[in-house]
Amino acid sequence: MDNKQDILKLLRSVADGATSPEDALLSLKEEPFADLDYAKIDFHRSIRQGASEVIYGAGKTPEQIRGIVAKMGERGCRNILVTRIGQEAADALARAVPAVYYPVPRLAIAFPQKRELKGNIVVATGGTSDMAVAEEAALTAEAMGNKVVRLYDVGVAGLHRLLSHLDELMSARCVVAVAGMEGALASVVGGLVDCPVVAVPTSVGYGASFGGLSALLSMLNSCASGCSVVNIDNGFGAGYLASMINQMEGIREE
């Protein structure tokens, strides 16, 4: 049982009399995770949270990444995200399984599969230098089945650039605002839209930005209502949260 639809199918089979309650219980109990010694893969995460486990590539060897992804693929997992993965590890992964690598955000998607894209998430950046983090957010959201509109280099140093995209911003269900320096973009966006804003501070900036701490504190102290903040350079976390917000109504209906 790898997702909610599998569970529903099994329960309907029990209701129809095609499957016994005992057999259904056995199916639910079998292999909630796989133990590879160096990793314990959580196959029930998609049932609990609606998305498969995501692999954090930094600190893992190419062999470990390949082993985890291969095992997940065997169980039918698709659009498996591998974040913070280098070119060498990505090349090794692509030789073993179908995988697409995006070098700017250092993100790979294994067993890629097209999905129906829902809703509307806007990912906006203060500057071009923030694109690596923004692309991590955008690709994460797309892999999870969300429509994403990218608005890059629309920071407060030239506010007219942002204001020229009010239609896209005001039609979004969630906006991911990615910015370094003083991190003002999130507050500006938060004052323009009626949807949640996920603020992502980046480590982009000169010395007094303290590796993104300045942007983080600015975003945490935003006077714009409806802004939440993730960790410095955490594009993945922002994209994941934006996906949950964007698809909340559909999840409730299911």
Q: What is the pLDDT of residue 30?
A: 57
Residues in the chain: 254
Question: Which domains, ranges and CATH numbers included, belong to the chain?
Answer: 31-110 (no CATH), 118-253 (3.40.50.1970)
Rounded to whole angstroms, how far apart are CA atoms 53 and 221? 32
Q: How confident is the model at residue 113 (pLDDT cuts 50, 70, 90)?
A: confident
Q: Are 117 and 149 in contact (CB under 8 A)?
A: no
> pLDDT tens across 202-223, in order?
999 999 899 999 999 999 999 9
- Comparing 31-40, 51-60, 90-99, 167-176, the range with the smallest average pLDDT is 31-40
Give the helix/strand (H/E) hosting 11: helix 4-16
Give the helix/strand (H/E) hosting 248: helix 248-253
pTM: 0.84
> pLDDT tens across 39-77, in order?
666 666 666 666 677 899 999 999 999 999 998 888 778
With a pLDDT cut of 70, the percent of the chain lying above it is 84
